[in-house]
């Protein structure tokens, strides 16, 4: 019963999200040997002001 949460910087299209949902589910089912119905995916779009690496916001890179 994998629960997958993906946070990324906003800007993906609905088609990209559709593709992520399909391919990530396939990847987990193949690797973890579970049926697709068991996989739940949550996507969260973050503004570029809300993501940092090495102490620097994405908007400042």
The contact mask relative to its own copies for 8-37 (x = CB under 8 A, - = no) is xx--x-x-xxxxxxxxxxxxx-xxxx--xx
The full length of the chain comes to 61
Find out whether 44 and 20 touch, Cβ atoms under 8 Å.
Answer: no
How many positions of this chain bind its own copies (CB under 8 A)?
Answer: 50
Strands 40-46 and 56-57: unpaired
Quote the least distance from Cβ 47 to its own copies, whole Å: 8
Q: What is the Cα–Cα distance from 61 to 48, expressed in whole angstroms?
A: 10
**Residue 47 among the catalytic residues:** no
Question: Which residues would be at the binding site for its own copies (CB under 8 A)?
Answer: 1-9, 12, 14, 16-28, 30-33, 36-37, 39-46, 49-60
């Amino acid at each position: 019963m994998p629960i997958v949460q993906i946070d990324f910087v906003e800007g993906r299209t609905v088609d990209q999200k559709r593709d992520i949902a399909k391919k990530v589910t396939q990847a987990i089912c193949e690797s973890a040997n579970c049926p697709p119905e068991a996989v739940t995916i949550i996507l969260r779009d973050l503004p570029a002001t809300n993501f940092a690496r090495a102490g620097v916001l994405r908007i400042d890179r």
